[in-house]
Amino acid sequence: MGKGGMSLEGHGEEENMAAWLVGINTLKIQPFKLPALEPHDVRVRMKAVGICGSDVHYLKTLRCADFIVKEPMVIGHECAGIIEEIGSEVKHLVPGDRVAIEPGISCWRCDLCKDGRYNLCPDMKFFATPPVHGSLANQIVHPADLCFKLPDNVSLEEGAMCEPLSVGVHACRRASVGPETNVMIMGAGPIGLVTMLSARAFGAPRIVIVDVDDHRLSVAKDLGADETVKVSTKIEDVSEEVVQIHKAMGGRVDITFDCAGFNKTMTTALSATRAGGKVCLVGMGHGVMTVPLTPAAAREVDVIGIFRYKNTWPLCLEFLRSGKIDVKPLITHRFGFSQKEVEEAFETSARGGNAIKVMFNL
């Protein structure tokens, strides 16, 4: 494939297969022709691919926010694998290396990219964000500089978990979490949990996590939350619940991460966070919200947003290598790569229940 590169032998005979989203609630394993290997590319055999909430959203509705699936698309973007072939200019990787893969390719030419904020690049080509194909496939081709070698004590599954973990790490950087910041997290789903793990690794001394679901809260407690608070879905309960949150924190709430993104969660976040504190909106449940912004502004509560992540993979891998973060308990279900198992895996993830992260082992 590549000119002057290196490859592992024996790849020529097998047809590359991928999980294609072909319609609402319809995934089919079909052939996926790979592009030619450019000098700075690598060909990677996928070994671990996780299911994200956005993948499920695309399956159910063929859209996520403003991104609409208009033609068949390969799904998946949380991934790790083994290098099979390297392009002629790739120097830092060799065939056989195990790598975690950052799924977004930015242009590196626009002002945002030049400023280092490449996650905001308007020309970003991101796995399984239409019309770009994803990574739930036997093999993919990807730029080598977005493939990060795994430490020896970090598994391929953990490598795939770097993608959701990156959201938590980026959020903690944006909000400046540290040893002097008490943290509250709204939502104990997968992103709430990785944000909690990240906040702890960044040094947050006390973390309270809030959710409507008892099971999710018990998982959060097992993973290291100091306290949990169960809340309702009713907006009129906010005042009373803020009192409960303050009691659980046993002090001020310096930073709140809203990992759900609903009217009620954001209202709670703005109300519970101390004067001069920060609220970071991570989840995107509601596209338009009505929230008490004026009282929060009068208390100089800063509201910040995040979109995906930037330059997070090296830190994620160091957190995993050192044991500062353990993502293994988040992986609750595993499936192989057959038509039946792909369908079952997505049904399991969509159902929720006790599923946190559903992982494919290819």
- Residue 342 CA to residue 347 CA, distance in Å, equals 9
Nearest CA-CA partner of 3 in 40, 28, 29, 30: 40
Look at residue 236 in the predicted model and tell me its pLDDT. Answer: 97
Q: Exposure pattern of 226-250 as b/e (b: 16+ CB <10 Å)?
A: bbbbebeeeeeebeebbebbbebbe
Task: Kindly report the pTM of this predicted structure.
Answer: 0.94
Q: Are 268 and 241 in contact (CB under 8 A)?
A: yes
Nearest CA-CA partner of 186 in 103, 270, 128, 72: 270
Is the pLDDT at 1 greater than 70, yes or no?
no
Look at residue 3 in the predicted model and tell me its pLDDT. Answer: 32
- Residue 107 CA to residue 49 CA, distance in Å, equals 25
Look at residue 110 in the predicted model and tell me its pLDDT. Answer: 98
Q: What percent of the chain has pLDDT over 90?
A: 93
Is the pLDDT at 11 greater than 70, yes or no?
no
Residue pLDDT, tens place only, 212-257:
999 999 999 999 999 999 999 999 999 999 999 999 999 999 999 9
Look at residue 2 in the predicted model and tell me its pLDDT. Answer: 32
- Residue 170 CA to residue 225 CA, distance in Å, equals 19
Task: List, as own/partner pairs, every contact residues 291-294 make where C-beta atoms lie below 8 angstroms and the sequence separation is at least 24, other chains included.
Answer: 291/263, 291/266, 291/267, 292/267
- Sorting pLDDT into bands at 50, 70 and 90, what band is 13? low
Is the pLDDT at 339 greater than 60, yes or no?
yes
Q: Are 52 and 330 in contact (CB under 8 A)?
A: no
Look at residue 6 in the predicted model and tell me its pLDDT. Answer: 46
Q: Are 186 and 192 in contact (CB under 8 A)?
A: yes
The mean per-residue pLDDT over the stretch 116-122 comes to: 98
Residue pLDDT, tens place only, 259-313:
999 999 999 999 999 999 999 999 988 889 999 999 999 999 999 999 999 999 9
Consecutive H or E run containing 44: strand 41-50
- Residue 217 CA to residue 228 CA, distance in Å, equals 6
Nearest CA-CA partner of 144 in 102, 178, 198, 190: 102
Q: What percent of the chain has pLDDT over 70?
A: 96
Is the pLDDT at 345 greater than 50, yes or no?
yes
Supply φ then ψ for residue 289, to 5 degrees.
-125, 150
Residue 98's DSSP bridge partners are 82
The DSSP secondary-structure symbol of 137 reads: B
The DSSP secondary-structure symbol of 108 reads: S
Look at residue 170 in the predicted model and tell me its pLDDT. Answer: 98
